[in-house]
Amino acid sequence: RKKHGFDLPTEKWLKEGLREIALQLFDSSPEIINKEFCKKILQNFNRNKRYYNRQFWACFSFILWYKMYFEVEKPKFNIDYYL
């Protein structure tokens, strides 16, 4: 059979606590992200789940990725000394 996509259970996850996590994440987002726009996407999610699902995951995953790779806590010792 042909390949076909699948939907994430985003609506269920948002009801089970992801909404609060996403709002905290959006509030602490880097300056390069328009946090108000991300929050608006989350508010409009129930209006059109299929449309806003992609936008929500784009904002959510980008901010997580950015925090993991660019806001990593620096070591407490001078790493250059050991190189």
Contact 54, 61 (CB under 8 A): no
pLDDT in tens, 3-37: 888 778 899 989 998 999 999 999 988 888 999 99
pLDDT of residue 80: 56
- Sign of the four-CA dihedral 57, 58, 61, 63: negative
pLDDT of residue 77: 54
For residue 13, what are its two tokens?
Answer: 């996850």
Contact 26, 38 (CB under 8 A): yes
In eight-state DSSP terms, residue 6 is: -
Q: Provide the mean pLDDT of the chain.
A: 84
pTM over 0.85: no
Rg (CA), the chain: 17
pLDDT of residue 83: 43
